[in-house]
């Protein structure tokens, strides 16, 4: 297991770019995750797993009916979402993402619960970053929940030469939950709020004016191309996390979840090397992506294994 932890640490501590590029296929636009990152995920272990990507319409419809009975969101069944589910079923790296979710999702759920919004919104982080805390986009967004600098600063995220809280899972998740809550208050519709999370409230308002309605599926054609992919991608991720077993996926589970860690406060400047005399070095590096160098400044909160 130590080897697995070490390999995952390597994957997540490379600075990654090109997040949220798009590709077009069969008339639909798909968010394209970082190729290098996904290739490294495939190489962790179990990369030769084969799973069933087939899905008939009748089964698909009944499964979506189940999802809708168990959420406050609108998990729409239509040709568009069917296309996205089929596309996502072709991604061979998904078992690795499902495994990593065991670590991050308890944290996300605690924040979403705290702000009184649906737990299913945790799947947005998969669409945004593929659960890479140091994911970066070509437009400057960063972190698990992909905050732009100005929006991140508005929600309390900061960075300097030693610490970048855009990369801190706790800070980033808290900011993401608050931002989603505020967007829902603005639009009163989760699909529109989710779209605004991607392209900004201004672009969604503009699309609503052009469409002459607040019905998401009528507004969607007027949204930016990448944002047109956003809600269907979110729905596809929701489907996969609920029905991966039915498709024969075998997740590569991570050893810890976020709340298996404890937080300690540094009363003086220290380093990862110094802390590794007391705690597992690989886990320290994995759990604390907010530290840019090996230096941990005085006053920092550090996540360590219990």
Average pLDDT, the chain: 85
Same domain, 196 and 283: no
Q: Report residue 265 as tokens.
A: 């406060």
* Residue 59, φ and ψ in degrees, nearest 5: -65, -45
Residue that terminates a domain, selected from 223, 247, 271: 247
Residue 226, number of CB atoms within 10 A of its CB: 18
Same domain, 215 and 107: yes
| Block residue for tokens 């605004």 | 196
The pLDDT value given to residue 210: 98
Same domain, 240 and 274: no
The pLDDT value given to residue 204: 99
Instruction: Report the candidate in 98, 73, 111 with the shortest Cα–Cα distance to residue 252.
Output: 98
Beta bridge partners of 164: 159
Residue that terminates a domain, selected from 201, 219, 247: 247
Is 180:118 a contact under the CB 8 Å cutoff?
Answer: no
Q: Per residue in 52-111, pLDDT tens? A: 666 778 888 899 999 988 888 988 888 899 889 888 888 878 888 898 999 999 999 999
Beta bridge partners of 265: 301
The pLDDT value given to residue 137: 84
Q: What is the CATH number of the domain that holds 27?
A: 1.10.530.10
Residue 69, number of CB atoms within 10 A of its CB: 8
In a domain, 123, yes or no: yes
For the purposes of burial, counting CB atoms within 10 Å of the CB of 255, is it exposed (0-12), middle (13-18) or buried (19 or more)? middle
Is 84:236 a contact under the CB 8 Å cutoff?
Answer: yes
The Cα 108–Cα 190 span in angstroms is 17
The Cα 23–Cα 137 span in angstroms is 15
Q: Per residue in 130-140, pLDDT tens? A: 999 999 888 88
Label the pairing between strands 261-265 and 270-271.
Answer: unpaired
In a domain, 256, yes or no: no
The Cα 201–Cα 193 span in angstroms is 8
Same domain, 283 and 193: no
What are the DSSP E strand ranges found in the chain?
Answer: 21-25, 28-32, 261-265, 270-271, 295-296, 301-305
pTM: 0.85
The pLDDT value given to residue 43: 53
The Cα 284–Cα 294 span in angstroms is 11
The Cα 172–Cα 201 span in angstroms is 20
Same domain, 94 and 218: yes
In a domain, 294, yes or no: yes
- For the chain, residues with pLDDT lower than 50 are 1-22, 25-26, 44-48
Same domain, 77 and 183: yes
Instruction: Report the candidate in 267, 268, 285, 263 with the shortest Cα–Cα distance to residue 276.
Output: 285
In a domain, 257, yes or no: no
The pLDDT value given to residue 51: 56
In a domain, 152, yes or no: yes
Count of structural domains within the chain: 2
Same domain, 32 and 176: yes
Q: Report residue 150 as tokens.
A: 């100005």
Q: Where are the alpha helices (DSSP H) in 55-147?
A: 57-69, 79-89, 94-114, 124-129
The pLDDT value given to residue 255: 76
Q: Quote the domain boundaries for residue 298.
A: 262-305
Same domain, 108 and 173: yes
Beta bridge partners of 159: 164
Largest Cα separation within the chain, whole Å, is 62
In a domain, 227, yes or no: yes
Same domain, 285 and 151: no
Same domain, 20 and 121: yes
The Cα 87–Cα 53 span in angstroms is 9
The pLDDT value given to residue 158: 96
Same domain, 135 and 223: yes
The pLDDT value given to residue 23: 53
Label the pairing between strands 28-32 and 21-25.
Answer: antiparallel
Same domain, 60 and 158: yes
In a domain, 253, yes or no: no
In a domain, 252, yes or no: no
């Amino acid at each position: 297991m130590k080897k697995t932890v070490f390999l995952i640490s390597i994957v997540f501590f490379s600075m990654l770019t090109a997040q949220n590029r798009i590709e077009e296929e069969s008339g639909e636009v798909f968010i394209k995750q970082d190729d290098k990152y996904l290739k490294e995920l495939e190489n962790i272990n179990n990369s030769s797993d084969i799973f069933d990507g087939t899905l008939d319409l009748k089964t698909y419809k009944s499964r979506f009916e189940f999802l809708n009975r168990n959420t406050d969101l609108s998990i729409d069944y239509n040709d568009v979402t069917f296309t996205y589910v089929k596309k996502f079923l072709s991604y061979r790296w998904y078992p690795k993402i499902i495994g990593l979710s065991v670590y991050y999702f308890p944290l996300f759920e605690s924040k979403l619960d705290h702000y009184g919004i649906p737990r299913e919104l945790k799947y947005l982080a998969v669409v945004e970053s593929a659960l890479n805390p140091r994911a970066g986009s070509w437009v400057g967004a960063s972190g698990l929940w992909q905050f732009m600098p100005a929006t991140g600063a508005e929600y309390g995220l900061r960075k300097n030469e030693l610490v970048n809280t855009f990369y801190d899972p706790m800070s980033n998740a808290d900011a993401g939950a608050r931002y989603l809550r505020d967007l829902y208050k603005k639009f009163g519709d989760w699909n529109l709020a989710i779209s605004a999370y991607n392209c900004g409230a201004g672009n969604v308002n503009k699309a609503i004016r052009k469409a002459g309605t607040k019905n998401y599926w009528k507004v969607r054609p007027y949204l930016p191309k990448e944002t047109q992919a956003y809600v269907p991608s979110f729905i596809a991720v929701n489907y996969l996390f609920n029905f991966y077993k039915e498709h024969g996926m075998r997740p590569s589970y991570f050893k810890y979840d976020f709340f298996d860690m404890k937080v300690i406060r540094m009363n003086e400047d220290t380093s990862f090397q110094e802390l590794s005399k007391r705690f597992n070095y690989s886990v320290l590096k994995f759990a604390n992506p907010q530290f840019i160098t090996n230096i941990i400044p005085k006053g920092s909160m550090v996540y360590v294994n219990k």
